[in-house]
Amino acid sequence: MNKDATRISILGCGRWGSGLAWYSAYLGYSVMLWGRELSTRCQRLAKTRQNEYLQLPSSVLVETSLERALSADIILIAIKSQGLRALCRQINRFPLNGKKFILCMKGLEEDTGKRLSEVFREEIDQPVELAVWLGPAHVQELTNNIPTCMVMASEKAELTRYLVSKFGSELIRFYYGKDLIGAEIGAAAKNVMGIAAGMLDGLGLSSLKGPLMARGPREISRLVKAMGGEEITVYGLTHIGDYAATLFSPYSHNRQFGETFVKGKRFEKLAEGVTTVKALIHLSKQYNVELPICEAVNEIIEKKEEPKVVLKKLFFRPTKYEFL
């Protein structure tokens, strides 16, 4: 497939960053995949052209110069959420006028609860355009030609249409989004639901994943509404539409983390839900919205409460007169 001469850069060479590089090359674009010079992931990709998830196409240039990476027409960012502010400060040192950025990340700033688009806008003070790329996808499935549907969202319909025209294909069918609050909060929160699901799996309580799926969107939709977003967004692809890939998939890092955590084992890979739950607790207090599932996960991870006791207490609380 060869669309045009558009140059694409991906900042971040982890699982999803390398997957986006693979996909952008699949679309026929000129692609740079940026990583820090001392990053072992970047060094491995530059040397072997592969990681545990995929083989990089020969057309993808592995780059360690941020300045060269920022010369692209469209720049995708796919790093861990807590590193975004520092990276944006670095990015802002270079001329960026008219660049198009896409945040391909799911998380919230741990200490402030701020959405990643807010963090970006606080640190990038140049005239650039910004969108978010969210929804269910696993690199292992994408590279095996298993299609999925995702969301491209921004505050400008024209920008969203342009980016969908650039990245849509028979592998990824995009839906248009405009509610950044609902999309970003929902996408981040689904990782916390994934941790909860993994905990239930690890404790032999997988039958409670049904109630988890029913109750999770309700508490997150209440938060989104309180923050000024649209409740219905939570029931779209960025939150509940991502449940199968997060609450059930063997590829889900958050589900795996939850399962290994309650079994007393270490999980070495990135599970964004660990920091996201702290951010959601912050937002819960700020907007005076109860988030029982998030609070339960936080009690288990941060306060070291007994997982089975906390989760049974969560699901067998006194019945409220509320329809789900």
Q: What element of type H or E holds 21?
A: helix 15-26
Query: Is 262:199 a contact under the CB 8 Å cutoff?
Result: yes
Closest by alpha carbon to 169, among 137, 131, 128, 130? Answer: 137
Closest by alpha carbon to 273, among 248, 256, 285, 251? Answer: 256
Looking at 190, 209, 225, 278, which residue is catalytic?
A: 190
According to DSSP, the residues that pair with 34 across neighbouring strands are 11, 63
Rg (CA), the chain: 19
Residue type, 2: N
According to DSSP, the residues that pair with 172 across neighbouring strands are 148
According to DSSP, the residues that pair with 62 across neighbouring strands are 33
What order do you get walking across the sheet with 60-63 strand by strand?
Answer: 60-63, 30-34, 7-11, 74-77, 100-103, 129-134, 148-153, 172-177
Give yes or no: 190 in active site. Answer: yes
Pairing of strands 148-153, 129-134: antiparallel
Pairing of strands 100-103, 129-134: parallel
Q: Residue 206 class from Cβ within 10 Å (0-12 exposed, 13-18 middle, 19+ buried)?
A: middle
Indicate which residues carry an active-site annotation.
190
